[in-house]
Every structure is written in C-alpha cells, then in structure tokens.
Amino acid sequence: MRFLLLGKDGQVGRALQETLPPLGAVHAVGRAQLDLAAGLASAAAEPPEGGLGGLERLLQQVRPQVIVNAAAYTAVDEAQRDRDRAWQVNARAPALMAAWARQAGALLVHYSSDYVFDGRKALPYLEADATAPLNVYGQTKQAAERAILGSGCQCLIFRTSWVFSAHPGNFVHTLVMRALTCDALSVVADQVGAPTSARLLAQVTARAIEACSRGGLAPGLYHLTAAGAVSRYALACHIVRHIQALGFATRLQPERIHAVASVDYPAQAVRPANSRLDSGALQQALALALPHWSGPVDQAVGQILRNHQIA
C-alpha cells in the first residue's frame, strides 16, 4: 500500500510513523511541508505549496492508496477566536481529501473527537448517537465527519478522546511538568473521559487498515478510546501519585490539587461533561481488547520524566 500521512509532527502522526511502514511506503508531511491554513489572514505563513490548493497538488503527486489524516487544529479555546483557520484545517481540508479519495478509489483514515457530543448523556456514547457540539472545535469535527461520510469515499473515521503522549501539548505532559514546579493546582472535576494514548491510536489504526484491506472490517465511523473512565481531577491525582511512586520528588502533593467545577474554571470553549465513548463495535470487529487508560498513562509519565532528566 502507498500511504500519504498528514500531520506527521503531531502526537498521533509521530506514532503512526512507527506503525504504518510495515504496511507499505509512507509519504509523511507536516505543517512545515504543507500548511493547510496557508492563504488565510490568520495563517502565520503562506508558502506557495500550502492551503487547499497545495493539498490537492500533493494528492495528485503522491496518488496514495491510503490517506491518513492526523493533521488537525487542536487548540480548542483558540478555535473560538481563530474560527476560519480551525474550519479550514479541521473541516474543509478533510472534505477535499474525501472528494479526492472518492474519485481515486483510495481509503481515507480520519480522526474525530468526543467533542462532537454535548456530554449530557448518562452512558458512554455510541456511534449512532446524535451529535451536538458545544464549541467551534467540535463543530469543525462534526462537519468533517459529515463531509467524509457524505462523499461516498471509503473511509475509517475514529472518534477518540483525551489524546496524550510523552510529547508536550496534552493534559498528561502538562500535569507532570506542573507537578514538578507548582505548589497547588485547580483541576476540573466534572468532566469524565478516557485518556487515550497516541501510540494506542496508531497501533489500532494500522490493524484496522490491514483488516479493511482484507475485507475484515467494514468502512465507516468507529469509537476508539482506552477502556475505563476518569475525571480530569482524579487523573491529575493519579499522575502525581505515580510520579511519587517512581521515586521522583514533586512540589505538588495530591492534597494540594483542588477540585473545581467547569463553570468556575476559566476557559473560552465549553467542554462536554461526559466524554465517554463506547468502543465495543470496533473491539468486536477487530477481535481486540483495548487496554485500561491507567497503564499507558503510567508509561507516558515515566517517559516524560526520563526525557526531563535528559534535558
């Protein structure tokens, strides 16, 4: 198989560069090679190969059999202000990929989010549940889902939640750094979800692509998160305790982590209270058991601390 991987420098993109090569040749690009927001007033740079025109030229040049779109505008709060850029990267670009994939007979793999839901359901969300995003980021992800599914292309859309890795730019990494430098911290206690490692997403993505190519997995939309669920507050306490269990001294003690309500925490974008996704359909189709969130979180915490020591 011939792959085009977009977003190679992000959390999921980095992990995919380890799991996709056994399946075929991978042409991987990041924002330095293709800025999907180029041409917009809010874009920092406008390379001639950027924007949607640059994306279309890249697709024609590489002519991939599988497009894996790990590129995304993930700054949820900033998306409330930088709407055009969020819509361009998260919705218009995937729509173009879907149209090209439909014409070329390629498979499009795309990542969506728990933020397409309003979080008011008491149980974990199923794929067929109605979407009702609470913020601009969620609206762009919803629009991408609809465009891809409506295009008629072969696709695998994975809705996931609370993605983390040992690299900066996620809750787990931020919490580890805060634990080493802060005396006290306030963390939202009324948002519940499943922290899901970028590595797990990449591993299951590769397995799903292979199964889809053999006819063992039907194209479509699937939920993909780690097992179990935890509040952001309880996750913060877990991380600090694990750091201490590894023998590292922390300035932040679990009792100095203060639980707060979402309404009392300053944020531009409203988040869903319930981000739990039911991944049963994908687990059954691939005959796999997704791991509990705590194991990968603990592994990432250890790697972050090792990286910090080296630095």
The answer to whether 277 touches 160, Cβ cutoff 8 Å, is: yes
Token code pair at residue 183: 């005396």
Q: H-helix or E-strand containing 309?
A: helix 294-310
Tokens 């791991």 identify what position?
Answer: 291
131 — phi, psi (to 5°)? -90, 150
* Strand, coil or helix: 78: helix
Burial code of 87-110, b = ≥16 C-beta within 10 A, e = fewer? bbbbbbbbbbbbbbbbebebbbbb
| DSSP code, position 107 | E
Query: 137, 222, 233, 265: which one is catalytic?
Result: 137
Phi-psi region of 85 (alpha: psi -120 to 50; beta: other; left: phi over 0): alpha
The answer to whether residue 137 is catalytic is yes
Within 8 A by CB and 6+ apart from 303, the residues are: 166
Rounded distance between C-alpha atoms, residue 255 and residue 237, angstroms = 8
- The DSSP result for 5-63, as a single string, is EE-TTSHHHHHHHHHSGGGSEEEEE-TTT--TTTTSTT-S---TT-HHHHHHHHHHHH-
Pairing of the two strands 230-231 and 192-193:
antiparallel
Rounded distance between C-alpha atoms, residue 112 and residue 118, angstroms = 14
Please give the positions annotated as active site.
137
